[in-house]
Amino acid sequence: MQSETREITRTYNGQDQIDLMEMLEDYLRCLKKYWLQLLLVLITVAAATVTYMNYTYSPVYSAKITYAVKKTGDTSVDSSLTRRLSSSVGTITDAPEFRDELSANMADSVPEKSFWFSSQYTDGANLYTISVNSGKYKYVDELLDAFQKIYPSWVDKSNGSVALEIVDITNASATPVNEYSLIDYLVKGILAGLVIVVCLATLYVQTLHTVRKEKDMRKVTSRSCVAVIPDVKIKKRSKSTKSQLLISNKRIDWGYKQSLLSVQSRLDMQMEKNGQKVLLVSSTLPQEGKSHISVNLALAALQNDKKTVIIDGDMRNPSVGRMFGFEGQSLGLSDYFDGKADVEEIMIKSGNLSVISAGTRNGGISGIISDSKMQDLMEYLRRNFDFIVIDTPPAGLFSDADILAKYADTVLYVVRYDHASVKEIQEGMSSFIQNNKLSGYVINQSHGSLSSYGKYGKYGYSKYGHYGHYGKYKRYIKTAEKEMNTEDSL
């Protein structure tokens, strides 16, 4: 246990190398999952940007005058003086005295804040250009005329006698220099929207703490991944009803069957080596596929000629019986604990496979279980069966799995791809690790290289509607669908 904790700490504190392909997959998953929300954000930001730019748009008209500086005849000296004169334009034109003199040389009165001056200088040259700018076209040329009359004398006051030669004068055009363009605003709005969308997607990627690969589980446990089970769909007939994902179903994909057989084979080798018979299967949250894994492991054991029994320990929302097609069985585990039936009466047999359903009384296992009766039951099953599977409620929600783990030899933990967070998995798995019961885990419904198999959710994963009132986990619970029967029932 201590060595595993040290291993987890090293992995958790270590800095993983950035996987660009993985990041790209995360961005694509975000786009696929939230494309409508991101599209709405893009449209909203683009519309807000265009609206703001339209509201704040003000046309600017400009006239220009270019001066050549001739004082010493030395190019480098005159160039330095030109640079100084260009940088001083703002100081001169902002002076109240300059503005008063400028107004005195104009026929019309111009509002004080309706115009401004700017200057542009080319490094190494003795030329600089002064622009007169205003939001009113009618003022610009008159302002330029008044400016060129008084400006040279203001230059002489601050720099001594300077010979300024007018090289070029460009009067204002009726077209503003910042011409209005709705297309330009739309492009800018879309770019702004894309920036926000990328930022939101990046935030999603950076805060994504679910499990998608084996390396994500290194933060939880150093135990090995038994298998990565692909996301699949059934080869349905045109008029067939929905079916369960059982390996006994002939329409189930071959790759999916092989992955389950591989899980059973690896567990079988490990359990036989350790003299173990009882496997408990659990998960962190609902809808991770643990019940399907439990049932399929039982079916896989039959192919190895093992006399097998599966126990539905999920008395809150039993599903094993439903998968085999006998939902509503009158007697089961709860009836055994209540003394209403003995072991033989609660077992439904079909060849080498036996099923013990949850029974007629629902509730938490702690309020139903009888320790002595459970010990007797497990002793009977160990004597008469080669492989015993116990399906449980989610360990991240209830203590039922911890209670039942007392009677199991080892635990297989089911982790659904991109479902529960690493922290939630760590909390759900912790007791199995502490008690040294965890044999390993499977990553279920993987969207990796086997993603072409499709989607699990459409084909038989039971919905934990009864768990919907459990606080922060409510987001994992979906409304129950009509249950699906299998052609391969007992």
Q: What is the DSSP string of 93-141?
A: HHSHHHHHHHHHT-SS---GGGEEEEEEE-TTSSEEEEEEEES-HHHHH
**Would you state the pLDDT for residue 175?**
92
**Would you state the pLDDT for residue 486?**
37
Lowest mean pLDDT among 102-106, 401-405, 475-479: 475-479
Q: What is the DSSP string of 389-407?
A: EEE---TTT-SHHHHHHTT
Strand, helix or coil for residue 356: strand
Segment 323-346, tens digit of pLDDT:
887 766 568 899 999 999 999 999
Contact between 369 and 337 (Cβ < 8 Å): yes
361: pLDDT strictly greater than 70 = yes
* Total residue count of the chain as it appears in this document: 490
Contact between 105 and 150 (Cβ < 8 Å): yes
Cβ-based burial of 489 (10 A; exposed 0-12, middle 13-18, buried ≥19): middle
Backbone angles phi, psi at 61, to 5 degrees: -110, 145
Q: Can you say whether the dihedral through the CA atoms of 394, 395, 399, 401 is positive or negative?
A: positive
- Looking at residues 283-305, what average pLDDT do you find? 92
**Would you state the pLDDT for residue 479?**
30
Q: Which amino acid is at 162?
A: V
232: pLDDT strictly greater than 80 = no
Name the band, by pLDDT with cuts 50, 70 and 90, for residue 18.
Answer: low
- Outline where 331-476 has alpha helix (H): 333-337, 343-346, 371-384, 400-405, 422-434
Sheet holding 127-134, edge to edge: 115-121, 127-134, 61-70, 163-170
Contact between 139 and 113 (Cβ < 8 Å): no
- Looking at residues 56-71, what average pLDDT do you find? 91
**Would you state the pLDDT for residue 449?**
42
Q: Any idea what DSSP says for residue 421? A: B
- Kindly provide the residue ranges of all beta strands, DSSP E only, lying in 238-358, ordered along the sequence: 278-283, 308-312, 347-350, 353-356
Contact between 285 and 424 (Cβ < 8 Å): yes
**Would you state the pLDDT for residue 385?**
95
More confident: 213 or 468: 213
Task: State the CB neighbour count (10 A cutoff) for residue 199.
Answer: 11
**Would you state the pLDDT for residue 483?**
34
Lowest mean pLDDT among 147-151, 182-186, 204-208, 286-290: 204-208
- Looking at residues 152-171, what average pLDDT do you find? 86
| Lookup result for tokens 């300024």 | 164
Q: Give the C-alpha separation, 450 to 67, whole Å.
A: 73
- Looking at residues 350-366, what average pLDDT do you find? 87
Strand, helix or coil for residue 246: coil
The residues near 303 (Cβ < 8 Å, ≥ 6 apart) are: 261
Cβ-based burial of 275 (10 A; exposed 0-12, middle 13-18, buried ≥19): exposed
Q: Give the C-alpha separation, 315 to 305, whole Å.
A: 29
Chain-centroid distance of CA 410 in Å reads 33
Report the candidate in 160, 410, 468 with the shortest Cα–Cα distance to residue 280. Answer: 410
Name the band, by pLDDT with cuts 50, 70 and 90, for residue 5.
Answer: very low
**Would you state the pLDDT for residue 471?**
46
What percent of the chain shows pLDDT beyond 90? Answer: 47
Report the candidate in 190, 201, 200, 195 with the shortest Cα–Cα distance to residue 44. Answer: 190
The residues near 200 (Cβ < 8 Å, ≥ 6 apart) are: 38, 41
pTM of the model: 0.64
- Looking at residues 159-184, what average pLDDT do you find? 89
Task: State the CB neighbour count (10 A cutoff) for residue 331.
Answer: 18
**Would you state the pLDDT for residue 65?**
95
188: pLDDT strictly greater than 50 = yes
- Kindly provide the residue ranges of all beta strands, DSSP E only, lying in 122-233, ordered along the sequence: 127-134, 163-170, 225-230
**Would you state the pLDDT for residue 468?**
46
In this structure, are strands 163-170 and 353-356 parallel, antiparallel, or unpaired? Answer: unpaired
Task: Report how far apart, in Å, the C-alpha atoms of 113 and of each of 110, 129, 135, 176, 341 are.
Answer: 9, 22, 10, 18, 96
Question: What crossing angle do the helices spanning 96-104 and 137-159 adopt, rounded to 10°?
Answer: 130
Average pLDDT, the chain: 82
Contact between 143 and 112 (Cβ < 8 Å): no
Contact between 389 and 310 (Cβ < 8 Å): yes
End-to-end CA distance of the chain: 42
Q: Can you say whether the dihedral through the CA atoms of 68, 73, 79, 83 is positive or negative?
A: negative
489: pLDDT strictly greater than 50 = no
- Looking at residues 451-475, what average pLDDT do you find? 42
Q: Give the C-alpha separation, 360 to 153, whole Å.
A: 105
Q: Give the C-alpha separation, 386 to 305, whole Å.
A: 9
